Structure 1
Amino acid sequence: MFQTAESRYNLWVREHYRFLMRSAWALTGSRAAAEDIVQDCFAAAWRHRDQLRQAESARAWLFQIMRRNARRHFSPGNLSIDDEAVAEQPAPDCGMDDRLDVVKVLTRISPIHGEVLALYYFDDMSTSLMADALEVAPGTVLSRLARAREALREAMLAPRARPRDALATSVTPLRRA
C-alpha cells in the first residue's frame, strides 16, 4: 500500500505522542510547555527523519530530540506545575493526588534524575532503550535510577515551606487595647 508523507507523519504522531507528552510533562511539570516541546520535537524529527537508522529505535530517538528541546527551552527556575492538567491524566497504579505530588517533586530534583524516573515509571521503558534514549551505558542507567529513587524519596520527605507559613512567622499579631 502506498502511503503519502502526510499519512506516514500522522501515523508516527499517533504512535509516539502519548509517550513524548508524558515524558515532557514529567520533565517540565507544565502541560502547555510539554505540548510546545512535543510539537517542536515532531517538527524537528520529521525534518531529519533520514537520520533515524532503525525504525525500532524511533521512541528512543524521539526522546533524545524532545529532551534537547526541553533543555533548550527551560531551566529549573522557570518550571511551573499545571495542577489542573496533571489531574486530567489518569495514573495507572496510583491516585490523582499521588500522581500530582510525584510530578511536583520531579520538578524539584535534578533533570537527570527526573528524566530517568519518567522513562522508567511513566513510560515503562526498558533500561536498554533508556540507555539509547539518554545516550549512556546500561549500567549508567541503573546507577542513575538508584540515585534518582533516593533523590525522589528525599524530596518527598523534605518539608516545603508554604508562602503562608513564611509570612506567619514574620508578622507580629496586633494587640487589642
Structure 2
Amino acid sequence: MGTAWDDTADDAALVQACRRGDMQAFECLVRRHQGMLLNVAFRVTGVYEDACEIVQDAFLAAWRKIDSFRGESSLSTWLTAIVINLSRSRRQQLSNRKQHEAYSLDAPLSGGDNDLLPDPPSASPSALHQLEEAELRQALDGCIQALPHEFREALVLRDMRDLPYTEVISALGIREGTLKSRLFRAREAVKDCLKRAVASP
C-alpha cells in the first residue's frame, strides 16, 4: 500500500513513488495537473468532450510511461507534450474520418421544433457589459480556433499557459526560431481576426 500523499508533496517525490507503483501518488499528480491539462487540451481542440478524453488518455499514457520521464523538463511540460501529441493524433483521426463520411441532404439541420431558445439577457447595464465581454471572449476563442494547429498550439502554451520558451520548445519538439515565428504569425492572425470581428455589425 502506498503512502498517504497530500497536495504539498513535490512532483519529483511523487514521480519516484509512481515508479514504485504507488497509485495514491499518481492520483495526487492527477489532481495537481488535470485542470491545467484540460485547459490546454480544450484550447487546442476546441471541443470539451474531446479535451476530457485526451486528458484521460494522457494520464493513462503517463502512468504507463512514467519510467521514461527523465526530468530534463518539468513534469507539467512532459504531461503537456503528451496532451499535444494526443491532440494531434485525435485531429488526424477526425480528419481521416471526415474524408470518408457521407452526409444526408434530407437530414434536419437542428433538433426540430422542440429546441428551446435561451432566456433573453437582463436589460440592466451590468448584463450588457457582461454580454459584451462574453462576445469578446467568444470572438477571441473563435479566432484562436481558426488558427492553423501549429500556431494554436504555440499560442496556447506560451500566451495562455504562460510557459517559458524552453518548456514550449520542449513540449512541441521545435526550435526557438520556429516557436518565435509561429507565435508572431499566430498573434498577428488573432489581432487581424479580432479587428474584423469588432468591426462587423
1:136 is the counterpart of 2:153: no
For 2:187 and 2:63, the matched residues in 1 are separated by: 34
1:35 is the counterpart of 2:47: no
1:119 is the counterpart of 2:157: yes
Q: TM-score, normalised by structure 2?
A: 0.64
Any residues of structure 2 matched to 1:1-150 within 5 Å, and which?
2=3, 5-54=22-71, 56-75=73-92, 95-150=133-188
Secondary structure in 1 matching 2:146: coil
Q: Cα RMSD between the aligned structures?
A: 2.5
Letter in 2 for 1:135: G
For 2:36 and 2:71, the matched residues in 1 are separated by: 18
Letter in 2 for 1:22: N
Q: Which residue of 2 aligns with 1:172?
A: none
Gaps of 5+ in 1: 79-94, 160-177
Structure 1 residues 8-56: Cα deviation after superposition (integer angstroms, max 9, x where no partner): 1111112211211111111111111111111111111111011100175
The count of aligned residue pairs is: 144
Letter in 2 for 1:133: A
Q: TM-score, normalised by structure 1?
A: 0.71
For 1:71 and 1:149, the matched residues in 2 are separated by: 21
For 1:21 and 1:99, the matched residues in 2 are separated by: 18
Letter in 1 for 2:59: F
- Checking the alignment, whether the CA contact within 8 Å between 1:113 and 1:151 is kept in structure 2 is no
- Checking the alignment, whether the CA contact within 8 Å between 1:109 and 1:155 is kept in structure 2 is no
Secondary structure in 2 matching 1:53: coil
Gaps of 5+ in 2: 5-16, 99-132
**Identity percentage over the alignment?**
29
**How many angstroms does 1:120 deviate by?**
1.6
Structure exhibiting the larger radius of gyration computed from Cα positions: 2
**How many angstroms does 1:70 deviate by?**
1.0
